[in-house]
Structure 1
Amino acid sequence: MNKRILFDVIGILLIALVVVVGYKLSPMLLPKADVTVQPDPACDLQHRACAVELPGGRRVELSSNVRPVPMVKPFAIEVTTAGFEPSRVEVDFAGVDMNMGYNRPLLAAQGNGRYAAEATLPVCITGLMDWQVTVLIETGSERIAIPYRLSSGGPH
């Protein structure tokens, strides 16, 4: 009888541990933003850089060195900011219709408001894939999210 109570207590403690770890990791997997700015839906990252104007006269531009954006090949991504200096810049690539795993490179400061990193999109078995590409910017006082859509693997 005492062993059963011990196993029950251990089980409850393990469940509590999983809940605490999940709670602590949730901001990393599902980032919360203070400001979300919708880009122009007509902007196509497969053909050109896309820029948005933020409140306060600030500007953010997302671009890639390769067009169309390739699958399974590394490519450079760059975020350029004007009017403010972010403390952290990431770009999150999430499959729209299929979970393609965690893919969020941290961009390194290059100077003059430029941040760059190398990214690779995994291949989808269908060949076509819609991506939610979210630029995540942290400043000292706010978190900014700019969600773009990107289709890869098809004719462009």
Structure 2
Amino acid sequence: MTGLALAACAWYAFAHWLHRDSDVTWFPPTASCDLHAAPCSATLGDRGRLTLHVQTNGRIDALETLPLDVEVEGVKATRVEVDFIGRDMDLGLHRFALSASAPGRFKGQGQVGMCTQTVMPWRARVILETPAGKMGSWFDFDVVRS
């Protein structure tokens, strides 16, 4: 029993270590947007801007491959990652590294997980690694179970 409790504690600590973001400078989204239908942007203070486009046919669905496109302006990003995290429920880490496709453009694929709720609130977090450190923003959206 003690071993099981220790394993659970170790897993909890490891999961929170993976989610750590204390070294990221966060900037709020510029305005509310519908990530299902259009790109979402955030101004990175006076440093630049990032835009996330999830290329869907109008709806983000669980367990579907999502083409991701991030455009970065005014900041030299050396690495870009997109996290999908449950806003109301810990559903684990869904982090996807994107590849540079052109200067200031990063592309890749991601996926949101399945949930038992009819409507699952998600947050897409875009994290940029730059010579000045990590910075990022987030965009909230809901996925309706089909």
Q: Distance in 1 between matches of 2:23 and 2:40?
A: 20
Partner of 1:40: 30
Q: Is 2:55 aligned against 1:74?
A: no
Q: Distance in 2 between matches of 1:36 and 1:54?
A: 8
Partner of 1:9: none
Structure with larger Rg = 1
Residues 41, 50 of structure 2: 8 Å contact kept: yes
How many residue pairs were aligned?
136
Q: Which has the higher strand share?
A: 2
Residues 70, 152 of structure 1: 8 Å contact kept: yes
User: Percent of aligned pairs with the same residue?
Assistant: 24
Partner of 1:117: 108
Give the TM-score normalised by the residue count of structure 2.
Answer: 0.81
CA shift for structure 1 position 70: 1.6
Q: Which amino acid aligns with 2:77?
A: P
Residues 60, 81 of structure 1: 8 Å contact kept: yes
Q: Which amino acid aligns with 1:90?
A: E
Give the TM-score normalised by the residue count of structure 1.
Answer: 0.76
Q: Is 2:83 aligned against 1:92?
A: yes
Residues 44, 136 of structure 2: 8 Å contact kept: no
What SS class does the counterpart of residue 107 from structure 2 fall into? strand
- Across the aligned residues of Structure 1 and Structure 2, the Cα RMSD in angstroms comes to 2.4
Q: Distance in 1 between matches of 2:87 and 2:42?
A: 22
* Off by >6 Å, runs of 4+ in structure 1: none
Q: Which runs of 5+ in 2 are unaligned?
A: 1-5
Q: Distance in 2 between matches of 1:147 and 1:75?
A: 17
Partner of 1:30: 20
Q: Is 2:134 aligned against 1:143?
A: yes
Residues 76, 131 of structure 2: 8 Å contact kept: no
